[in-house]
């Protein structure tokens, strides 16, 4: 959905905001691989540059590249640049990514607002074929089972599985996926499997004849599902060399509750569910957090499910307020 920034204010989607802050906290742990200022950030900024602003301010990254597919909107993007260190490149990500220098450790966030496609898999494959150890890639996708359901699209009558095979290539869809598996959040779960399989295939091919200590390993860190409207899924992780030890232990990723890594947690998404609370309720709950073991959160008439949801994300909870300047 190129140009969706014209219709959606990306700064005020609460679940997206929570995810952005979680990602930023995880990226801070990359300092074990080198100074964060030595990293490059590459993303798809839209006109709001929300992730660029956060990562520059918190991580101090100065080498930042924004990719936008619509060159006709160049003046608008350039006008909205929040910092001089952001360099814009115009064109499809399939064309722009190969033009960049891949000797640099990179954080790449392919923050698409489209469903999974062969084009997405091309970007994912390129990154893991070229990025150096210590780099991280994250990809976000529209995971609605029927993304065209509100449009007069002749494809909407086709079975979901048929459409998925067309978009990503039948050879990329796990053979055990059935039509019923794509309902509700099933499309997100299937996207996770397809992207993860593509990453692992690329890493295996890249390792080739590399000596064992220098072989590359992909460690999944992120598997988010959320819905500020459309269902969205985010998948990604770290590329490192075997000789660099166990980054999960060294970087402390496993100390973060939202990290999804390893055989036990890697297939279980972190659902970001943002409760609807008043400012007074939020202040009241914050005064009780972090909660002592054995104590319960309390707020008058607030459902227990909302209390649990807030406790899981309160450190990342967005603060939106209207102001006249």
Tell me: the pLDDT tens digits for 97-113? 999 999 999 999 999 99
Greater pLDDT, 55 or 152: 55
Q: Is pLDDT above 80 for 157?
A: no
Mark whether 297 and 266 lie in a shared domain: no
Q: Is residue 324 part of a domain?
A: no
Dig out the tokens for 226 from the structure.
């959320």
Residue 216 sits in the same domain as residue 295: no
Contact 13, 225 (CB under 8 A): no
Whole-number Å distance between alpha carbons of 135 and 121:
18
Q: Is the pLDDT of residue 264 over 50?
A: yes
pLDDT confidence of 6, banded at 50, 70, 90?
very low
Return the bridge partners of 234, or none.
Answer: 140, 224
- Please state the separation of Cα 78 from the chain's center in Å: 24
Domain count, the chain: 2
In angstroms, how far apart are the furthest CA atoms of the chain? 63
**Residue, of 5 and 20, whose pLDDT is higher:** 20
Residue 149, Cβ density class (10 Å: 0-12 exposed, 13-18 middle, ≥19 buried): exposed
297 and 180 in a single domain? The answer is no
Per the domain annotation, does 255 fall within a domain? yes
Quick one: angle between helices 186-207 and 118-130, nearest 10?
A: 40
One domain, residues 73 and 202: yes
Cα 23 to Cα 55: distance, rounded to the nearest angstrom? 10
Question: Does residue 153 lie in a domain region?
Answer: yes
Answer yes or no: do 237 and 190 share one domain: yes
298 plus 204 within the same structural domain: no
**Are residues 161 and 299 both part of a single domain?**
no
Q: Once rounded to an integer, what is the mean pLDDT over residues 42-47? A: 94
pLDDT level of residue 7 (50, 70, 90 thresholds): very low
Residue 227 pairs in a beta bridge with: 231
Tokens of 110: 């392919």
**Does any domain span residue 323?**
no
- Rg over alpha carbons for the chain, rounded to the nearest Å, is 20
Residue 10 has a pLDDT of 44
What is the pLDDT of the chain when averaged over all its residues? Answer: 92
Structural domain including 195 reads: 4-272
Tell me the C-alpha distance between 268 and 285, whole Å.
28
| 297/236 same-domain check | no
Record the tokens describing residue 69, joined without a space.
Answer: 């597919």
Q: Which has more confidence, 316 or 13?
A: 316
Cα–Cα distance measured from residue 129 to residue 94, given in angstroms and rounded to the nearest whole number: 14
Q: Is the Cβ–Cβ distance between 193 and 220 less than 8 Å?
A: no
State whether 233 and 307 are in the same domain: no
CA distance 168 to 190: 11
């Amino acid at each position: 959905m190129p140009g969706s920034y014209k219709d959606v204010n990306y700064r005020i989607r609460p679940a997206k905001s929570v995810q952005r802050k979680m990602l930023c906290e995880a990226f801070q742990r990359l300092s074990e691989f080198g100074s964060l200022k030595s990293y490059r950030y590459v993303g798809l900024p839209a006109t709001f540059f929300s992730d660029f602003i956060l990562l520059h301010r918190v991580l101090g990254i100065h080498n930042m590249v924004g990719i936008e597919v619509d060159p006709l909107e160049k003046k608008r993007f350039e006008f909205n640049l929040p910092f001089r260190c952001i360099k814009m490149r115009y064109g499809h990500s399939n064309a722009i990514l190969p033009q960049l220098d891949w000797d640099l450790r990179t954080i790449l966030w392919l923050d698409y607002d489209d469903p999974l496609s062969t084009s997405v898999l091309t970007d994912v494959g390129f990154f893991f074929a070229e990025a150096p150890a210590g780099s991280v890639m994250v990809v976000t996708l529209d995971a609605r089972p029927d993304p065209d359901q509100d449009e007069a699209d002749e494809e909407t009558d086709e079975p979901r599985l048929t459409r998925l095979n067309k978009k990503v290539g039948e050879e990329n869809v796990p053979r055990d996926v059935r039509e019923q598996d794509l309902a509700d959040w099933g499309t997100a779960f299937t996207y996770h499997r397809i992207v993860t399989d593509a990453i692992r295939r690329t890493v295996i091919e890249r390792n080739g004849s590399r000596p064992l200590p220098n072989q590359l390993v992909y460690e999944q860190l992120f598997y988010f599902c959320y819905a500020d409207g459309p269902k969205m899924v985010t998948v990604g992780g770290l590329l490192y060399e075997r000789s660099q030890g166990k980054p999960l232990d060294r970087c402390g990723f496993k100390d973060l509750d939202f990290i999804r890594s390893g055989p036990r947690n890697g297939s279980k998404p972190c659902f970001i569910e943002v409760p609807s609370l008043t400012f007074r309720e939020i202040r009241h709950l914050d005064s009780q957090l972090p909660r002592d073991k054995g104590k319960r959160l309390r707020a008058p008439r607030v459902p227990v499910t909302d209390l649990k949801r807030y406790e899981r994300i309160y450190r990342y909870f967005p603060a939106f307020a209207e102001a006249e300047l």
